[in-house]
Structure 1
Amino acid sequence: MISRLILAVAGAIALSSGLASAHGSHSNDGQPPSNDWATRHMMEEHHIEGFDALSFFTLHDYDASGAWTPEEVRKTYGLDDESNRGASESSKESAIRAVFDLFDPTNTGTISRDAWLKTIASGTRLPDLGFGPGHHGDLEYEYEIHHFEKFHGDDATEEELNHPEDIEHFRLHDEMEAAQLRLEKLEDTQVVEANIPSKFRRAV
């Protein structure tokens, strides 16, 4: 039962990533490839126009190790986002290899900060690999950045939050909260030994 509740919460989060309509679709919409994907990513995913190579690297060095791992590149490009669920795993791995071919020419297995800065300074840019702008935020972040900020504002009233994305977002919130309450209730339930089948009881 507990595992089903956990799966329900995870499923709700995954489902939220697939919202798509006229109001700020969160899908890979087939825009033409950008010759500077990092700029597209920063504008669409972070709403940042002015940045330098170091700040971009630091923002996407999720474990602050000073180097990008394949998993971090995968996350930055949004390869595991719902919008890319139709892409094959081999195409995703090829995309990661393409980035490493550019920024890790000596095959160290990571992209160091120094290698990144040096390669960017030479004129190389992150390629647009056809997977969209790189959705990699959580439920709240993606809703805020792709819908709320575009179609509402800090002074929006509850009555104005009536777009399909708003309704679905808050429905998912309600489901997740209900699932969490059920999980907490189960965890607080006392185990009644008499209800345990004898074959599962510890011999004394």
Structure 2
Amino acid sequence: MIKFGALVLLQTLFGVSVVRAHRDHGHGGEEIPSDAPYARRHMASEHHIDSFDSKSFFLLHDLNRDGVLDREEIQAIYGVHHIYSQKKSKDEQAHQEKADHIANSILILMDTNKDGKIQLEEFEATGVDALPSFENMGADGHHYDVESEFFLHHEELYHSTPDTQTDESYNHPEDIEHFAQHEQIEREEAEREAKFQGISVEEALAQHEHVESDPSEENAPPANAEGAENPYFQDEAGNVHPHDDQAEAQVPIQEPPSPSNPKINRVTPPEQRDPSERYRNAKKDSENHDAWGSGEGGFKVPSSPSERMRKNVPYKYKFRRNWGDF
């Protein structure tokens, strides 16, 4: 996966313009023609870059920074070994033949000194727009993992607003296939968990149905429970005010008496905080927990970000997300 830092470096050194884009859309959101050169469509849809030259394209795809494009890096330009491409190959032999065909075709086109690699000078001499498309072979140029590809090429395009993030909105074939894969993963994990605990798969699944709601919220004490505190409305003296209209009438419980109109400090609820703040110490705190399935926690459902990052925590608990995290 290309790291963001590399893109920033290229933008600074070679004038690469990084923009937000949706599939084959260029700067400002305009659609890139379907007959545009492969590299143009690839950079817009996969990298969100619409302005580049041969040198910046070369450096971006020179993954090991050795100054040449080898066979593996050529294949990576076309996403040959991505799972989406593999699914379009009949078998392993057919897939290898596809990979060899693509690498050989580009080497014949650009490797003028026949050393089996493409130097920057050779790439620039031929030009980035000369790169052919192999999309008819299922090589669509994908670089990222399945989750990232789904977000980049589907969710960002069709589910980028609150109105398109309702349960009813996720009805595209891509949505159905994507979440069916998650259900299969959860089923397999439940089977392993059931075997370990000596229970049925259905019982294992039933144990964790409440994971769909935030366990940390479920375990919170009732607002009126004895000794419970409401962290969202407090005056400077620490007095709790359940509602704005009640704050003025409350009698201070500490000496000296607070003003008749105490200033109320609003504390942002955890679920509304910026993800970078909410999860800042999650990784560090997770080191204080035993691996999932061992210690006092055992197979207990994770109830905090740090617990979700424990070693061996099942995929379904890690995947659970809040839309505001994006």
1:6-155 superposed matches below 5 A: 34=35, 36-80=37-81, 81-82=85-86, 84-86=88-90, 88=94, 89-120=96-127, 125-129=130-134, 130-131=136-137, 132-155=139-162
Shift of 1:189: 8.3
Q: 1:166 to 1:68 in 2, by over 3 A?
A: same
1:173 correspondence with 2:185: no
Contact 2:39 2:129 in 1 (8 A): no
Aligned position for 1:202: none
Contact 2:106 2:131 in 1 (8 A): yes
Find 1:161's aligned residue among 167, 170, 174.
170
SS at match of 2:49: coil
Contact 1:37 1:133 in 2 (8 A): no
**Structure 2: gaps spanning 5 or more residues:** 1-22, 24-33, 197-290, 295-326
Q: 1:114 to 1:173 in 2, by over 3 A?
A: farther
Distance 2:73 2:148 in 1: 18
SS at match of 1:172: helix
Percent of residue pairs bearing the same amino acid type: 33
Distance 1:86 1:136 in 2: 21
Shift of 1:70: 0.4
For 2:113, the aligned partner's letter is T
* Structure with the largest fraction of helix: 1
Shift of 1:173: 3.2
Q: Relative contact order: is structure 1 or structure 2 higher (C-alpha 8 Å, sep ≥ 6)? A: 1
Shift of 1:66: 2.4
Q: Which moved more, 1:124-133 or 1:95-104?
A: 124-133
Distance 1:133 1:56 in 2: 17
Question: Larger C-alpha radius of gyration, 1 or 2?
Answer: 2
For 2:173, the aligned partner's letter is P
For 1:84, the aligned partner's letter is K
For 1:79, the aligned partner's letter is V
SS at match of 1:49: strand
Q: Deviations over 1:35-69 (max 9, x none)?
A: 72211222333343222222222222222332211
For 2:73, the aligned partner's letter is E
Q: Deviations over 1:67-119 (max 9, x none)?
A: 21101111221323135314933344122111011221112222223332233
Distance 1:83 1:45 in 2: 19
Contact 1:68 1:112 in 2 (8 A): yes
Distance 2:120 2:132 in 1: 18
Aligned position for 1:4: none
Q: 1:168 to 1:96 in 2, by over 3 A?
A: same
**Structure 1: gaps spanning 5 or more residues:** 1-23, 25-32, 191-204
Q: 1:90 to 1:165 in 2, by over 3 A?
A: closer
Q: Deviations over 1:177-198 (max 9, x none)?
A: 6656859x989889xxxxxxxx
SS at match of 1:96: helix
Distance 1:66 1:48 in 2: 22
Q: How many residues align?
A: 156
